[in-house]
Amino acid sequence: MTDSDQTPPAGSVDEQWLEQLLVREAREHRDRYVGDEGFSARVMAALPAPVAAVPNWRKPVVTGMWAIAGIAFAYALPGAVHDVAREAFVLLSAKPFSLSAIGAMVGALAIVTYGGAALALRRD
């Protein structure tokens, strides 16, 4: 078989050339099938049973539980949360930051957030 048999002529509108090529190849190779005498069936029977899939509701429930835990923590310790927020504001407002430092902080925060979300939402 030459390359000219496998590709349609330039500008051809015939879209059946690939189907015709596949049918011709199937005819040529039909007699070359090698029987496996039940080997495939024995292998499939010997495979372990599939593990039960994780329910679809798990991701939103886990995410909601973490959100509730965070809110409950902030509500239970309002003085500590307020002190931490105030100290962070004082620290950030007392020192001038360059644009590259702000970008690095935002990038680091994004990486940590993405990593935490990926860990919490991974499929087991």
Answer for the pair 120, 66: CB distance below 8 angstroms, yes or no. yes
Q: Tokens at residue 115, please?
A: 């990593």
Distance between start and end Cα atoms, the chain: 49
Q: Where are the domains of the chain?
A: 3-46, 58-120
pTM (global) more than 0.85 = no
CA distance 69 to 9: 67
Among 67, 69, 51, smallest CA distance to 59 is for 67
How high does pLDDT run on average in the chain?
81
Asked if pLDDT for residue 124 goes beyond 90, the answer is: no
Asked if pLDDT for residue 11 goes beyond 50, the answer is: no
Express each pLDDT in 16-60 by its tens digit: 888 888 888 888 877 777 778 888 889 999 998 887 777 888 889
CA distance 75 to 116: 22
